[in-house]
Structures are given as C-alpha cells and as structure tokens.
C-alpha cells in the first residue's frame, strides 16, 4: 500500500506535503524548492513540468501551457476561456462536449490532462523524497469551485494515477494547518489570494473541530489578473512609444506579462523597480526595440486597486452571511502568494482591524492542511486525533422553473454533506419523461448560473399528475453534487439520464492516464 499526501494544486504553483511519524514534511525537489510552477511544456517526444517548463515559456510559448486551472471545468463559451484563447500562444478550441481543449503540436489536451501532469509531477517529487510509492492524495481546490470544476479535479487525480481521498477547500486546509495540535477556541478568517483565484472563509475552531461558517470567492481573481492588468498598461505605453499596435502580437504580450510579474514581486520588497527589456519587440526585419520604465508602488497601486477592492467587498459580504462583525474575529490568516504584496496585506489588515497572523507559511499552509487531512483519512493509529472538518457549500443549488427562474433547493453556506428532496409530477397526459435542469450559482435567473446538467427521468405513460417522482439532490463532503430519483408509486429507483455534462469522458480519462504515467521528466533526487 502506498503513501497518502496532500497536494495544493495551484493556478501558478503547486506544493505537496506528507505526514510521517507525526511530523509534517513539505516535499522538496532535487534543488530544495518547496513549490513547483503549475506549468507543462510539451516537447515533440517528452513532457516537462514545473521549473524547467516555466523556463521554456519565453522560448516556446506555443507549446507551454500555464494557468490551466483557470479553465478546468468551464465551458468553451465562458469569457475567461475566450480571453485565454486570445492571449495564448498555444491553441484553445472547443472540445466535443463543449469544454475547452488546448492544442499543442497538433494534439488536443483537456485542462484536466494539464492538471494531471502537474499532479503526477508532485507525486514523483514526493516519491523521490520519501522513498515510497505515493498512490493517494487529498487535493485542494478553491472554496468557490463549483461542481464541474471539482469533478474535473478528481479526473485530473485519476489521470495522475492517484486515488483522490478528498477534495478539500483551500481556506479550510489553511485553517487546519494553523490550528492543528494547538488546542484553542477561535474564530478565524482565511483570506486566500493565489495566482488565479480568491477565497475567503470564516471558521470556528474549537480544539479538533473546524467548522466553516461562511465562504465566498471569485474563481477569476488572482495574481494572473494583476499581471495581465499591469501588462496591458505596459503594452499601451510601449505602443505609444514605438507607434505600433501589438493587439495581435502574442510574443510582445508574453514578454510584458513576464516583466509585469517580476516587477510585482520586486515591488513587494522595494518602492520602485526598473523594467528593462532590451528586446521587447523584434521586427520582421530583425530590428530590436527596447522598453524601459521605472514602475513605483504608487502607480502600481493605482492600476490594481480595483482588484484589491473586489476582494474586500467579497470579505464584507461573507461577514454579513456569517452574521458577524470584525470584533468577532480572533485571527486573520493570509495565504496564497499574492498576500506577500504589501498593498494586499495592508488592505486585509485595515478591513479586519488586526495584524494578520504570521504563523502559517502562505505558500505551504494549504498543502500542509491537505497532508494532515490525508493522514487523518488513512491513519490506523488510534492515537491520531479525531479532527472533525465541517465545511459548507459555496454556491446555491437550484432547479429551473417556468420563465427561467431558479428555485433554490440548497442555499449557499449550507453545511455539507447535505441533501434535499423535491417531488415532481407529470404535467401532460401520457408523458414519458420529466426533464429537470439543475444550476449552481447565486443568480435569480437560470442564465446567470452554471448549468450542471439536465436530468431526464423516464416515467411510465399515465394520465397527468399520476406519476410522482421524488428527486433527491445531495452534495457530498467533496462538494460534488449527486442526483437520485425514486418513482413514489412504484417505490423503485427511476432511471436518470444526465445531459449537458461537459468534461472528459471516462474513456478519455483512462487513455490520458496512460499517457501521463508514461511521461517522465524528473530524475529522483
Ligand atoms: P500561489 O498560487 O499561491 O502560489 O500564488 C501565486 C501568485 O503569487 C502569483 O501571481 C505570483 O506572482 C504571486 N507572488 C508570489 N510571490 C510574490 C511576492 N513576493 N509578491 C507579490 N506576489 C507574489
């Protein structure tokens, strides 16, 4: 039997940890690095992941895929998919089931496959360090991920050859890392701003009990957005300088984006930074145009303040949902790489009226919490403390009713696991099927929410109103939605067909698993 680890599968970076002999180990690669870029570079014959792949980004952007997590579980038509399509050097196209696929060297990859390569890389790093086979993992996701995004993350684990023990919310994992082994009674806020997503969760921690009271977030608000916004400003200045439009020049955009991220990281330590790109643009005639600009914190703050303010609004809304005010909070945890930026720290500190707790490492806390949970789920040691995690569903589950309105069955912030039943009658004589469309989200209209699936129940032909089908919607501990139906009269399970379900088919997942497991790119440390 192999080991169980915790993996923080991030938009920008990933981290893997394990509990061994009662101690948490954050696994490092052969060069001692604790986190790995979630970047996958496809060669003609090999696949490389992590730091080496990130290095390839500038030389071979058309075959190097990053930020795949922003597309996982989404529809091709989503605005974010279209934005990535316009900005990326690799192809993004519509898969047969309506989800986005990447095209690299003429081959198609689902976002799950890219995440699968990242997870397989993390598994190999853990195996190299621990000297044992790793075959199980608790994998973290943003608390605000919806059902298709969670399902797709499970598929990514299977592709990587890992049994997914649990899908755990990132802020909950961070809270576990903070509270583990510290018998205490506190109400804490976890403010989690990573590379691609923002989450905030309010928890009550009482000894070994971790209870999420409310959570909210934005799955398209993270460091990538800061970098894209800054890159837009730099491109605009460069366009004015050389009197040339770069709207269709992805190489110039890529260079500016890279420069924007480096400038942001430098600005978190110093007041100003010199952006110096000797070859920001090379013309077809081979003439190089340089771009230099001194960016200071003040200008950067002016550009990105709307993004920071969005996170604060979400925090205020979550506090309202939890029916709490700032005085009720005992500790504020900041996690995610973006919380290293002073403006972000100051904004969170100002909002919550207290200094953030610095006892957790913002880059590792989520993986550490996942490792603790993995240990809890697999340990046979009676001494392991029986920690109880009570999480909530971040988004409401509803069904579409007449006029396209949404009838909420399970409201957001309901403790999970949970289930709710509803009885449906046939409306027409001799009707042979009942169609139920299930949505997730807070919009009052169905078209403002995410369609999870159309559930079609086959019913016996009878006069209208005579067939009663009890449909039970449940959300499991992973936040994944399940639907069951029982024909009330026959007292037997009614058959359900699920339509409009995107993502990879089980056969595709199995094939991708073989491809991923055959691709090897690291030499054990
Ligand atoms: P994560 O997904 O938590 O690893 O966060 C990654 C994001 O944090 C990326 O957008 C990074 O550019 C950003 N980041 C990492 N270190 C810093 C830093 N020192 N200052 C500002 N942003 C950072």
What CATH number does the domain containing 447 carry?
A: 2.60.34.10
Task: Tell me the mean pLDDT in the region 291-296.
Answer: 98
The burial of 492, by beta-carbon neighbours within 10 Å (0-12 exposed, 13-18 middle, 19 or more buried), is given as exposed
pLDDT at residue 157, rounded to an integer: 97
Among 104-108, 305-309, 312-316, the minimum mean pLDDT is found in 104-108
Domain holding 434, by residue range, is 397-497
Q: Look at residue 203 and tell me whether its pLDDT is greater than 90.
A: yes
Q: Ligand 1, closest atom to CA 268?
A: 20
pLDDT at 198 over 60: yes
Per the domain annotation, does 502 fall within a domain?
A: no
pLDDT of res. 525: 33
CA of 385 to the centre of ligand 1 (A): 33
What is the per-residue pLDDT for 396?
95
Ligand 1 near 281 CB (within 6 A): no
Looking at residues 328-350, what average pLDDT do you find?
Answer: 96
Ligand 1 centre distance from Cα of residue 304 (Å) = 14
Residue 372's pLDDT band, with cuts at 50, 70 and 90, is very high
Clarify whether residues 172 and 106 are in a common domain.
yes
* Pocket probe mutation, ligand 1, options 7, 9, 11, 12, max atoms within 8 Å of Cβ: 12
Cβ of residue 223 lying under 6 Å from some atom of ligand 1:
yes
Helices (H), 196-296: 223-242, 250-267
Q: Is 194 close to ligand 1, i.e. is its CB under 6 Å away? A: yes
The answer on 360 and 254 residing in a single domain is no
| Atom number, ligand 1, closest to the C-alpha of residue 336 | 3
Across 489-495, average pLDDT = 68
- Give the model's confidence band at 57: pLDDT under 50 very low, under 70 low, under 90 confident, else very high: confident
pLDDT band at residue 524, thresholds of 50, 70 and 90? very low
Is there a single domain that holds both residue 131 and residue 277?
no
Whether 381 shows a pLDDT value over 90: the answer reads no
Positive/negative CA dihedral, 81, 86, 91, 97: positive
- Of all protein residues, the one whose alpha carbon is nearest to atom 20 of ligand 1 is 265
Q: How far is the centre of ligand 1, averaged over its atoms, from the C-alpha of 174 (Å)? A: 16
Asked if residue 430 has pLDDT above 70, the reply is: yes
324 inside domain: yes
Whether residue 336 has its Cβ less than 6 Å from ligand 1: yes
End of a domain among 278, 302, 326?
A: 302
For the CA of 193, the closest atom of ligand 1 is 3
- Asked if pLDDT for residue 492 goes beyond 90, the answer is no
**Atom nearest to 224 CA in ligand 1:** 10
Average pLDDT (285-291) is: 95
pLDDT reading at 521 higher than 60: no
Give me ligand 1 centre to Cα 368, in Å: 18
Residue 69 is a catalytic residue: yes
Q: Of 390, 327, 326, 332, nearest to 357 (Cα)? A: 332
213 and 146 share one domain: yes
Same domain, 194 and 242: no
End-to-end CA, the chain: 22
Q: Give percent above pLDDT 70 in the chain.
A: 96
Residue 366 CA: nearest ligand 1 atom is 3
C-alpha 71 – ligand 1 centre gap (Å)? 19
Global pTM reads 0.93
What pLDDT score does 490 carry? 66
Q: Is the CB of 307 under 6 A from ligand 1?
A: no
**Ligand 1 centroid, distance to 343 Cα (angstroms):** 13
Residue 385 maps to a domain: yes
For a mutational test of ligand 1's pocket, the pick from 264, 335, 343, 344, i.e. the residue with the most ligand atoms closer than 8 A to its C-beta, is 264
Higher-scoring residue by pLDDT: 46, 121? 121
Q: What is the mean predicted confidence (pLDDT) over 220-237? A: 96
- The answer, yes or no, to whether residue 500 has pLDDT greater than 80, is no
Question: Considering the chain, what is the average pLDDT of its residues?
Answer: 92
Decide whether any atom of ligand 1 lies within 6 Å of the 513 Cβ.
Answer: no
Report, as an integer, the average pLDDT of 326-343. 95
pLDDT at 495: 62
State the Cα–Cα distance between residues 125 and 132, nearest whole angstrom.
11
Query: Confidence band (pLDDT; 50, 70, 90) for 384?
Result: low
Indicate whether 205 and 280 sit together in one domain. no
**Comparing 433 with 313, which gets the higher pLDDT?**
313
CA of 193 to the centre of ligand 1 (A): 9
Mean pLDDT of 297-323: 97
Q: Who's near 406: CB < 8 A, 6+ residues apart? A: 396, 398, 399, 400, 439, 443, 444, 445, 446, 449
Q: Which of 54, 69, 136, 264 is catalytic?
A: 69
Asked if residue 145 and residue 206 are part of one domain, the reply reads yes
pLDDT of residue 300: 98
Nearest-CA residue for ligand 1 atom 7 is 195
Number of domains in the chain: 3
26 part of a folded domain: yes
* Residue 491 falls in which region: left (phi positive, over 0), alpha (psi -120 to 50) or beta: left
Q: State whether 322 and 427 are in the same domain.
A: no
Q: State whether the beta carbon of 202 lies less than 6 angstroms from ligand 1.
A: no
Confidence (pLDDT) at 305: 97
Compute the average pLDDT of residues 427-443.
Answer: 89
Give 197 Cα–ligand 1 centroid separation in angstroms.
11
- 201 with 116, same domain? yes
Are residues 93 and 176 located together in one domain of the fold?
Answer: yes
Tell me the pLDDT band of 494, cut-offs 50, 70 and 90.
low
For residue 519, pLDDT over 80 is answered with no
In a domain, 310, yes or no: no
At 118-137, the pLDDT tens digits run: 999 999 999 999 999 999 99
Residue 496: what pLDDT?
A: 67
Q: State which ligand 1 atom lies nearest to the alpha carbon of 226.
A: 10
What are the DSSP calls for 308-339, one per residue?
HHHHHHHHHHHHHHTT--GGG--EEEEESGGG
Indicate the pLDDT class of residue 433, thresholds 50, 70 and 90. confident
Residue 87 contacts residue 61 (beta carbons within 8 Å): no
> In a mutational test of the pocket of ligand 1, which residue from 140, 336, 337, 347 has the highest number of ligand atoms less than 8 Å from its CB?
337
Q: What is the largest CA-CA distance in the chain?
A: 79
Pick the closest to residue 255 from 243, 272, 238 (CA basis).
238
Q: Are residues 208 and 242 in the same domain?
A: no
Percent of the chain with pLDDT over 90: 74
The verdict on whether 8 is a catalytic residue reads yes
The structure tokens 């979630």 sit at 38
Would the pLDDT of 488 be above 80? Answer: no
Domain boundary among 391, 409, 444: 391
Distance, CA of 416 to CA of 169 (rounded, Å): 12
281-314 exposure pattern, b = at least 16 Cβ within 10 A, e = fewer:
beeeeeeebebebebebeebbebbeebbeebbeb
- Same-domain pairing of 120 and 145: yes
**CATH number for the domain that contains residue 263:** 3.90.640.10
pLDDT score for 522 = 47
Helix axis angle for 147-159 and 506-518, nearest 10°, is: 40
Residue whose Cα lies nearest atom 14 of ligand 1: it is 337
Q: Is residue 509 part of a domain?
A: no
Q: How far is the CA of 454 from the centre of ligand 1 (A)?
A: 39
User: What CATH number is attached to the domain comprising 191?
Assistant: 3.30.420.40
Pinpoint the alpha helices (H) of 268-384.
Answer: 297-321, 342-352, 365-378
Residue 425 CB less than 6 A away from ligand 1: no
Q: What is the pLDDT of residue 523?
A: 39
Q: Does residue 525 form part of some domain?
A: no
Domain membership of residue 519 (yes or no) is: no
Of the three residues 344, 368, 391, the one that is the final residue of a domain is 391
User: If you search the block for the tokens 């192809």, which residue do you land on?
Assistant: 91
Q: Is 364 in the pocket of ligand 1 (CB under 6 A)?
A: no
- Going from the Cα of 342 to the center of ligand 1, the distance in angstroms, rounded, reads 12
Tell me, what's the pLDDT at 216?
95
Per annotation, catalytic residue among 170, 363, 508, 521: 170
DSSP secondary-structure letter at 405? B
């Amino acid at each position: 039997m192999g080991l169980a680890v915790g993996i923080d599968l991030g938009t920008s970076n990933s981290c893997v940890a394990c509990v061994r002999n009662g101690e948490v180990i954050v696994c490092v690669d052969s060069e001692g690095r604790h986190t790995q870029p979630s970047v996958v570079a496809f060669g003609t014959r090999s696949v490389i992941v992590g730091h080496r792949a990130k290095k390839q980004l500038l030389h071979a952007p058309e075959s190097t895929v990053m930020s795949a997590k922003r597309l996982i579980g989404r529809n091709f038509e989503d605005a974010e998919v279209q934005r990535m399509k316009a900005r990326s050097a690799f192809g993004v196209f519509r898969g047969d089931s309506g989800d986005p696929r990447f095209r690299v060297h003429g081959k198609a990859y689902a976002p799950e496959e890219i995440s699968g390569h990242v997870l397989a890389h993390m598994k190999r790093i853990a195996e190299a360090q621990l000297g044992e086979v790793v075959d199980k993992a608790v994998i973290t996701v943003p608390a605000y991920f919806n059902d298709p995004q969670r399902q797709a993350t499970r598929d990514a684990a299977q592709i990587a050859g890992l049994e997914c023990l649990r899908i755990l919310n990132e802020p909950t994992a961070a809270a576990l890392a903070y509270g583990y082994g510290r018998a205490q009674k506190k109400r804490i806020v976890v403010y989690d701003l990573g590379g691609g997503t923002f989450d905030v969760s309010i928890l009550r921690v009482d000894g070994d009990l971790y209870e999420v009271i409310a959570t909210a977030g934005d799955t398209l608000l993270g460091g990538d957005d800061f970098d894209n916004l800054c890159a837009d400003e730099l491109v605009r200045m460069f366009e004015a300088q050389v009197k040339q439009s770069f709207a269709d020049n992805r190489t110039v955009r890529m260079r500016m984006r890279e420069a924007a991220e480096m400038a942001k990281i430098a600005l978190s330590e110093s007041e100003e930074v010199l952006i110096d790109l000797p070859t920001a643009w090379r013309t077809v005639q081979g003439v190089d145009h340089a771009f230099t600009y001194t960016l200071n914190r003040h200008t950067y703050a002016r550009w990105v303040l709307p993004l920071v303010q969005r996170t604060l609004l979400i925090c205020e809304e979550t506090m309202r949902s939890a029916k709490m005010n700032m005085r009720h909070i005992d500790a504020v945890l900041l996690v995610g790489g973006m919380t290293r930026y002073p403006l972000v720290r100051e904004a969170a500190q100002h909002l919550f009226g207290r200094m953030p707790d610095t006892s957790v490492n913002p880059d590792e806390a989520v993986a550490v919490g996942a490792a603790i949970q993995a240990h809890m789920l697999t340990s046979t040691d009676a001494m392991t403390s029986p920690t109880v995690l009570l999480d909530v569903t971040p988004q409401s589950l509803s069904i579409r009713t007449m006029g396209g309105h949404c009838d909420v069955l399970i409201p957001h912030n309901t403790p999970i696991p949970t289930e709710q039943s509803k009885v449906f009658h046939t409306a027409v004589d001799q009707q042979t099927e009942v169609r139920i469309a299930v949505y997730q989200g807070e919009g009052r209209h169905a078209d403002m929410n995410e369609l999870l699936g159309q559930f079609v129940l086959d019913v016996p032909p009878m006069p209208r109103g005579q067939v009663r089908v009890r449909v039970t919607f449940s959300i499991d501990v992973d936040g994944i939605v399940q639907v069951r139906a029982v024909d009330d009269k026959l007292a037997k399970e009614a058959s359900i067909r699920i339509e409009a379900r995107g993502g990879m088919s089980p056969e595709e997942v199995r094939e991708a698993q073989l491809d991923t497991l055959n691709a090897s790119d690291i030499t054990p440390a």
